[in-house]
Amino acid sequence: MPGSKEPQYQKKPIVVNETAGTKFYCLCGLSENQPYCDGSHKGTNCSPVRVEIKEDRRVAYCGCRMSKELPFCDGTHTYL
Ligand code: FES
């Protein structure tokens, strides 16, 4: 892992009023701009997840990174 940053996982979704377009979801948890990749994964074996948002809408991104529907929350955090 680059530097001494700790992954920012949480047991709840990251809810965003999302705009349409291409987004890159941070899978490593190291980004300081959650839920989006800021390049902090460099040097790890993680890569961001590309997601196409077709229209402006409220999105619940997975905060625990355990969802089976990544990058979206599927409620898995309630069992952790
Ligand atoms: S910073 Fe986490 S995947 Fe890019």
Q: What is the pLDDT of residue 21?
A: 98
Distance, CA of 9 to CA of 33 (rounded, Å):
13
Q: What is the pLDDT of residue 3?
A: 58
Q: What is the pLDDT of residue 16?
A: 97
Give the Å distance between the CA of 42 and the centre of ligand 1. 8
Mutate to test the pocket of ligand 1, among 28, 36, 51 (most ligand atoms within 8 A of CB): 28
- At residue 55, φ and ψ (nearest 5 deg) are -150, 160
Tokens of 16: 């965003």
Distance, CA of 49 to CA of 59 (rounded, Å):
15
Per-residue pLDDT of the chain (80 residues; tens, 9 = 90+): 455 688 889 999 999 999 999 999 999 999 999 999 999 999 999 999 999 999 999 999 999 999 999 999 999 999 98
